[in-house]
Homo-oligomer: A and B are copies of this chain.
Amino acid sequence: MRVISGGVCAPGGFVAAGINCGIKKKKKDLALIYSKVPAVAAGLFTANTFKAAPVRLSKKYLSTGKAQAIIANSGNANCFTGTYGLIYAERMADAAAGALAVKKEDVLVASTGIIGRPLPIERIEKSIPKLVESLSDKGDSSAAEAILTTDTFIKEIAVQARIGNSSVKIGAMAKGAGMISPRLSTMFCFITTDVLITPEALRYAIKIAADKSFNNITVDGCMSTNDTIFVLANGLAKNPCISLRDKNFSLFCETLSYVCLEMARAIVRDAEGATKFIEINVEGARDEALAREIGLSVANSNLFKTAVYGESPNWGRIIAAVGSFGLKVKEENIRIKFSSFRRKNVKIDIILGIGKAGCRIYTSDLTPEYVKINAAYN
């Protein structure tokens, strides 16, 4: 596997575009990804009770296991918007479907931004012809730009791998900087691939990949209402079709996991107001779930995060966080190691000494700038 240039347009048959439709004043706020041929599709969504309208709609559309396009806006989450929320999300899919000459059920929808304000659907509908016109195989960066909120840089990647005797590509774009927590977060990740794969294998693969990436990052422990991961696989690589029992399945999973982890790490690197990138490596746990829980407990501790910001290796705060959920481990068996807090990249090792499982969590520091950004955002 190797990293190649580009993003979601890198795999064969995908085009994309990003434009301003007037939700935001000047910045791009509407993105479209389109596969020229029908694609197998899977998605993962926030576990929040109050799922945004586009999340509920896309979940329904994905029951077919296929899709051909993704339309997404930033600047408005279309969440907690009542009955109209769902109607507007559907109109968004319908408008894109009309212009692309596909069925509306083949258009997945995602929205991100402020919660509780009506989606300006007319502006979106009016801009769809221009959006579709702008579609190009060089549109990946524009599309990646149009889904950003408080992000400071676009997040995209493309990789190429040999699967069987075929060359397969995966492209991805993501957004997210705040309201980032495990079990997904205020993030999007849209993944395209030309791999030929069964819907069942794709669903399984994206779950495995998310578990090794997006479920191991946190910025502020706050769970969003709009998180969405979509993956479209259009089969143009013409590899022998990958099923769950196929020997190439694990190879595809690894490649997909790499893509997801790079996107997840990019989100943490762009964490609101952050000055540090923190890697917490938990070892010697009874099982991976416990290791993850402990790592996240440290990663979400405001006192730990401010200590890293202050470059003050106050390891008592790590201990306090590890101990905060009643774990049965002896003081004398636990070991904590850490790199200098003065570096941009800080690494913490927590060795529990009660088993063999581990987990790696990624997070950022908590800074006055994070507070200022979120005090002003509305």
Contacts and interface: CB of A to CB of B under 8 A. Distances in A.
Interface of A: 47-50, 77, 79-80, 82, 114-116, 178-179, 181, 220-225, 300-303, 306-307, 309-312, 314-317, 319-329, 331-332, 366-368, 370-372, 374-378
Contacts of A223: 320-321, 323-324
A185 to B, nearest CB: 10
A59 to B, nearest CB: 15
A50 B322 contact: yes
Contacts of A312: 375-378
The complex is assembled from copies of this chain, and their number is 2
25 contacts: A47-B326, A48-B320, A48-B326, A49-B324, A50-B319, A50-B323, A77-B316, A114-B314, A116-B315, A179-B303, A221-B300, A221-B301, A223-B320, A223-B324, A225-B316, A225-B319, A225-B323, A302-B302, A303-B374, A306-B375, A307-B378, A310-B374, A312-B376, A312-B377, A368-B372
B374 A316 contact: no
A220 B378 contact: no
Given A115-B320, A322-B49, A178 B376 contact: no
Contacts of A115: 314-317, 319-320
Contacts of A222: 301-303, 317, 320-321, 324
Given A303-B220, A324-B222, A309 B48 contact: no
A315 B114 CA distance: 10
A114 B315 CA distance: 10
A315 B79 CA distance: 12
A366 B376 contact: no
Given A48-B323, A49-B326, A377 B314 contact: yes
Nearest to A316: B115
Most buried by B among A50, A309, A320: A320
Nearest to A48: B323
Nearest to A306: B374
A285 to B, nearest CB: 14
A376 B368 CA distance: 13
Given A49-B328, A50-B323, 9 more contacts: A49-B329, A80-B331, A115-B315, A179-B320, A222-B317, A223-B320, A223-B323, A302-B366, A302-B370
A307 B225 contact: no
